[in-house]
């Protein structure tokens, strides 16, 4: 069977994890392996303080794990690092590089995602040329992104009402306990940080989230 393209894997993705390099714990490889075995579809390295050289070293570790599990590797913010790491995905916020500039650097094969925090940003990202997916958040205020106001479930409902074929994810404060509210608002893909990075058992945490999302999907006609 041919290997699915990155776009096809993104379309199938339901659970997206952002993690730091776990430098103090020193367990990035084992952590990534557990999360991917549990059902994470995309792993992004999001470590805001890290130097580019250390970022590349951590991305090497994640790339090996993603390759072994057939999942997508994402880089946050930096197109140069995404290129150097051979990443599948670059994630851009509203204040990061514009999509056309990133696309010009990365070529057609790397997927590009966008963060959205307001209805107008969602409307734009759903049709923005060169973008492959978008995220809506924060759904709840979160210590992972301090100071960012939360547009909440209303923005999730707004994205769902668009009925866009472009994949989109809800992010911010999501855990197994409140996931049913996110699903009820119409999301079918989520991004989490603490729900897996701080879980005592990352495999179980990922598996429970993935199971809950997949269960919410309408059964085929």
Ligand X SMILES: Cc1nc(C(=O)O)sc1CCOP(=O)(O)O
Residues comprising the binding site for Mg(2+)?
A: 77, 96
Contact pick of 173, 182, 205, 209 for ligand X (by CB under 6 A)? 173
135 touches ligand X by CB under 6 A: yes
Contacts with ligand LCLJCK34, residue ranges (CB under 6 A) = 16, 18, 44, 46, 76-77, 91, 93, 96, 113, 115, 135, 171, 191
Closer residue to ligand X, CB minimum distance, 172 or 203: 172
Residue partners of 221: CB distance under 8 A and separation at least 6: none
Phi, then psi, of 15 in degrees rounded to 5: -130, 120
Q: Which of residues 90-119 bind ligand X (CB under 6 A)?
A: 115, 117
Comparing CA positions, the residue from 10, 14, 73 lying closest to residue 38 is 14
Q: Which residue is nearest to ligand LCLJCK34 (CB)?
A: 93
Where does residue 81 fall: left (phi above 0), alpha (psi -120 to 50 degrees), or beta otherwise?
A: alpha
**What tokens does 203 get?**
């495999």
18 touches ligand X by CB under 6 A: yes
| Known binding positions | 44-48, 76-77, 96, 115, 142-145, 173
Q: Which of residues 138-157 bind ligand X (CB under 6 A)?
A: 138, 142, 144-145, 148
Residues that bind ligand X (CB under 6 A): 18, 115, 117, 135, 137-138, 142, 144-145, 148, 171-174, 192-195
């Amino acid at each position: 069977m041919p290997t699915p393209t990155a776009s096809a894997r993104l379309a199938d993705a339901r659970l997206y994890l952002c993690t730091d390099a776990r430098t103090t714990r020193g367990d990035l490889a084992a952590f990534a392996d557990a999360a991917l075995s549990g059902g994470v579809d995309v792993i992004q390295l999001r470590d805001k303080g890290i130097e580019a050289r250390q970022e590349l070293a951590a991305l090497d570790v994640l790339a090996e794990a993603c390759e072994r599990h057939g999942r997508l590797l994402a880089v946050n913010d930096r197109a140069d690092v995404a290129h150097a790491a051979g990443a599948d995905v670059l994630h851009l916020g509203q204040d990061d590089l514009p999509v056309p500039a990133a696309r010009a650097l990365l070529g057609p094969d790397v997927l590009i995602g966008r963060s959205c925090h307001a209805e107008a940003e969602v409307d734009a990202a759903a049709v923005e040329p060169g973008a492959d997916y978008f995220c809506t958040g924060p759904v709840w205020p979160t210590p992972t992104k301090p100071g960012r106001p939360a547009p909440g479930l209303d923005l999730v409902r707004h994205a769902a009402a668009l009925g866009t074929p472009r994949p989109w994810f809800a992010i911010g404060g999501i855990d197994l306990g409140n996931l049913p509210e996110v699903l009820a608002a119409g999301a079918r893909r989520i991004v989490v940080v603490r729900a897996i990075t701080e879980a005592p058992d990352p495999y179980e945490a990922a598996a429970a989230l993935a199971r809950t999302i997949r269960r919410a999907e309408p059964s085929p006609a």
